A and B are shown apart, each in its own frame.
Chain A
C-alpha cells in the first residue's frame, strides 16, 4: 500500500485494517503523532488528511491510501515553523507536551478554514484532551497565531 505523508511517498506492507496512527508510528517511523485512547476521544493522534483534521487512531490505513497526509513533523515549511508552532513557543504552551502534537494539528486546521476564530469557534472546534490542563495558554496562543500573518 502506498501512503503520501509530509510530501513523501511510502510503501507499507500492513493489514489494511491497521489504524493510520500505527502505520505512521511503526511503519513510517514518525512518532510525533501520539497514541492516547485509540477511540477518537482524546485527539492526541490528530493529523491532516487532505487538509482536514482527522483522528488517525480510528481511520484504517486503507482509507488513507491516496490521500495527502500531514503529520506534526511536516507542519513547518522546511526550517520555518508554522505560525501555530511559533505561537506555542512564544506562549510557552506545552507542559508534558504529549497531547500537543494533536492539539497543534487541530488548531492549524482550524485556522486554515477560520483564520480569526472567536472564543466560541475555538470551543466548538478544539476538543482535544490535555490532562496537564494547558487550555488557558492554548487559547491565548490560538488568538496570537490568528493575529500573526
Chain B
C-alpha cells in the first residue's frame, strides 16, 4: 500500500524554477514541460502534500515519522478530507530531507516527538489538501468553461452540477499542476468531516502481517557489509587500544575500525559474524573519572538538591509558600523518586550508510529526518547538496530515535567513511542498546503541603531535584532561559501546553538541576511520567490528611480548570467512584494537562498476599480538542499503559562503575499480555483553537492511579519506582 523508500535514491524531478533559489541536489529537469514538479513516478504534484496519478490514485506526502503511532494515517486523513479524494486509492510517499532542503524546506518540520505529529502540522497539511482540491476544480472548470463555484467534488470525482458533466482528479491533474496555488484557502468545519475524525484502518498494516515491511534492520543493498559496534561502556570514556589482529582472521571479518574517540566496530560479511568477532576483540578503555559514579552517588547528589537554596522556578502562581506552610494547621511532607529508564524499542538502533567523497546517504529509522540530515552533514564533512537521509519504518521510537549528540547516526557515518563506496549496515546488539540509551532522566521530588483548619490546601511546595534533558540535548534553550529547563515542569508548569491543573493559593514548583554523566533523552511522555506520579500521589496523601475523598479534594482545586475537571469527572463516573468497589477491589485515579491534551485515568486493582497486583481495569479519558482517528487514539491510549505500567512495575537502569548494569530484557522486563488490564477509552474532544497530542499524554496517569489504588488496598504508600524494588509484582 505505502511506497516505502526503495534502496535506490528516489529522485524528485524538480522544475528549473524551483531549483533557482535552493540547493541543487542533482535533480533532473522536468521532461514533461515547464513549471510542473513531479513525484518519483512522474505524477504531477498539485501541492507539496498531494500528487495525483493518471489512474486517480492520490499520493499523499508525509515527512513525520511513522513508528506505530498512526501519524501517517491521521495526517493522510486530514489531507484526504480537505482534498475530497477517494480514500481507498491513497498511497503515502516520503520526501527526503535533502529534497525538502532543496525546495526551501517545502515540507516544513520533519521532527516527530512531543506528540506533535498531527497537532502541529494539521493546519498546513489540511491547507495543502484544500488548495489542491481548489486547483483541481479550477482545472476542470477551465476545461468546461464554467465557474468553479458550480463544481462539486467527492471521492476524487469533480461534477459540474448544472450540466451533469463529470471528470476525475487524475484526468485534470496535469492542468491543475500548472495553476498557481491559491493563497486564501478556507478549511472545512470539523463537524462536516467524512474521512478525518473517523475510525479508519491504518494504511500500513498489510506489510506488517506477512513479513514484508522493511525496517532499518532489514535493509539490503548490493555489496553491503554489516557492522557490530561497542562504545565505551562508561559514558564519556574513550578507546585506549584494541587488538584487531586477534579477530581479523575470523570468519567473514573485513575490517576492524575505531569509531570516533569512544567506539570500536567490526565490519564483516554478516552481522552475526561481525558481532561474534567483536565479542572476541580485546579492547582497553580509558574509562575516566565517570567510572566512579554509581546509582547511590547520584541519589546523594539529588537528595541534596531537595533542600538546596538555588532552584529554577517553574510555577509560582501566587502567594507566599514559606509563610503559608509555616502558618498551616497541618503540614504534610513526602519525598518521591523516579529512576533512569531505557526506551527499549523492539528494534535496536541501526543505520545503513554509503559514503563516497562525492556523496553520503543514510537509510534508517529516525524520528527527525532533518536532525539526522544535519548529523550526516557534520559527520561526513560533505556539503548539503551531497547528503541525504532516507527514513524507513521505525521498529518503535518513543523518543529514542530523536536527534541526540554522539549517537548511532554519527557512528554509522564514521564507520562507512572507513569503507568508501561500500554500504555498511550498523546494528546495535540489544546489549549495546541497553548500555547506550538516552535515558529517562532521574528525578527526586520533595512535596510539602499545608492544610488550613477546614482541610483546604492552602500551600504547596513541589521541589524537583534531578536531571535536565535539554541541558544535554538542547543547551541553547536552557541558556536562553538563564539556566532553567522549562521541560522539567511538564504537567506542572505556570502556563502553556503543560500547565498545572490545580489552583493553590500559595504555590511554588521549582527545580534544582542536578546533571550527571548519564545521557538523558525524551522517553515517551518525557517529564510527565514523574511529575504526574509525584503530584497525583501526593494529592491523595493530602486528601487523606484532610480526611476527604480523593476526588472531592481535587475537585475543589479545579474550578478554574474545566477541561481537566471534565476528564476527571468522566473517569470517576465510568469507574463508579461514588459507589463502593466490588469486594477485594480497590480504586485510584489521576489526571494531568500535557502536550495540550487533558487526560485522566481511574483504575481497579486487587492485591494478593500483599504484593501481587492485578490491574483489572483502567478507564482513561482524553480531551485532545480534536480527534482525527478515534480507533488509533484508543490504541495509543491502551498502548501507553503498557509502556507506562512496565516502567512503574519493572524498569530501572542502575549505574555501577559509571555504566548501566542492565543488559537485556531478563533484567529489564516489559509487560506481557497476561498482565494487560482491560482499558476503556473515553474520547471526549471539546474543540477550540488548540489541538492536543495523543501519543504521550495518557502514559503518565496510569502509574499514579495504580499507586493510589495500591495504598487503598494495602495501606502502604510507595514513593519510588520501580515497584519490583519493593517486592511488588504485576500478575
Q: Name A residues whose Cβ lies closer than 8 Å to a Cβ of B.
A: 15, 18-19, 22, 25-27, 29-39, 41-42, 44, 71-73, 75-76, 81, 85, 88-89, 92-101, 104, 122-124, 126-139
Contacts and interface: CB of A to CB of B under 8 A. Distances in A.
A35 B395 CA distance: 11
A134 B209 CA distance: 14
Interface of B: 67-70, 201-202, 204-215, 217-218, 220, 226, 251, 270-272, 276, 344-348, 393-398, 427, 429-431, 631, 635, 638-643, 664-666, 670-674, 676, 678-679
Contact of A131 (B206, B212, B271, B344): B344
A102 B270 CA distance: 22
B635 A134 contact: yes
Contacts of B276: 15
B251 A15 contact: yes
A132 B211 contact: no
Contacts of B213: 97
B210 A85 contact: yes
A2 to B, nearest CB: 19
Contact of A37 (B69, B204, B211, B664): B664
Contacts of B214: 31
Given A38-B664, A131-B670, A96 B346 contact: yes
Nearest to A39: B664
A52 B611 CA distance: 35
Nearest to B640: A133
- Grouping DSSP codes into helix (H, G, I), strand (E, B) and loop, the B interface class, with mixed when no group exceeds half, is loop
A26 B206 contact: no
A131 B672 CA distance: 9
Contacts of B642: 130-133, 135
A32 B346 contact: no
Interface-central residue, B201, B226, B346, B395, by most chain A CB under 10 Å:
B346
Nearest to A136: B638
Contacts of B665: 36-37, 39, 41-42, 129
Contacts of B641: 133
Nearest to A71: B211
Contacts of A100: 208-209
Contact of B346 (A26, A33, A44, A124): A44
A144 B418 CA distance: 52
Given A72-B211, A96-B346, A131-B346, A29 B220 contact: yes
A138 B673 contact: yes
10 contacts: A15-B251, A22-B270, A26-B271, A26-B272, A38-B431, A100-B209, A123-B672, A123-B673, A127-B674, A129-B670
Contacts of A104: 209
B639 A133 contact: yes
B212 A96 contact: no
Contact of A22 (B209, B272, B631, B640): B272
B343 to A, nearest CB: 8
Nearest to A44: B346
Contacts of A126: 672-673
A94 B212 CA distance: 13
B679 A136 contact: yes
Contact of B430 (A15, A38, A138): A38
Contacts, number: 179
B440 to A, nearest CB: 14
Given A37-B664, A41-B665, A72-B210, A133 B272 contact: no
A15 B268 CA distance: 14
B202 A81 contact: no
Contacts of A92: 201-202, 205, 631, 635
A135 B308 CA distance: 44
A135 B638 CA distance: 8
A145 to B, nearest CB: 12
Given A37-B664, A42-B665, A128 B394 contact: no
Nearest to A134: B639
A136 B676 contact: yes
B323 to A, nearest CB: 46
Nearest to B631: A92
Given A31-B218, A73-B210, A98 B673 contact: no
Given A22-B272, A72-B211, A129-B346, A96 B664 contact: no
A114 to B, nearest CB: 15
A139 B675 CA distance: 12
B636 to A, nearest CB: 8
A26 B270 contact: yes
Nearest to A22: B272
Contacts of A22: 270-272
Contacts of B209: 72, 81, 85, 88-89, 93-94, 100, 104
A34 B217 contact: yes
Contacts of B204: 97
Nearest to B639: A133
Given A15-B251, A42-B346, A124-B674, A95 B664 contact: no
B211 A96 contact: no
A88 B211 CA distance: 13
A101 B396 contact: no
Given A34-B395, A88-B209, A128 B672 contact: yes
Given A85-B209, A88-B205, A136-B635, 19 more contacts: A15-B251, A31-B220, A35-B217, A36-B665, A37-B430, A41-B666, A89-B201, A89-B206, A95-B69, A95-B639, A96-B347, A96-B396, A126-B672, A128-B672, A130-B642, A135-B673, A136-B676, A136-B679, A138-B673
A148 to B, nearest CB: 14
Which 4 A-B pairs rank lowest in CB-CB distance, beginning with the nearest? A32-B211, A133-B642, A96-B68, A133-B639
Given A26-B272, A34-B347, A135-B642, A97 B208 contact: yes
B81 to A, nearest CB: 19
Contacts of A38: 429-431, 664
B217 A32 contact: no
Given A34-B395, A134-B639, A136-B676, A73 B346 contact: no
A131 B215 CA distance: 16
A75 B226 CA distance: 28
B666 A98 contact: no
Nearest to B251: A15
Given A88-B205, A136-B676, A73 B67 contact: no
Interface-central residue, A73, A131, A134, by most chain B CB under 10 Å:
A131
A19 B272 contact: yes
Given A96-B393, A97-B208, A39 B347 contact: no
Contacts of B208: 88, 94, 97, 100
A26 B275 CA distance: 13
Contact of B205 (A44, A89, A138): A89
A99 B394 CA distance: 12
A41 B430 CA distance: 11
A37 B452 CA distance: 54
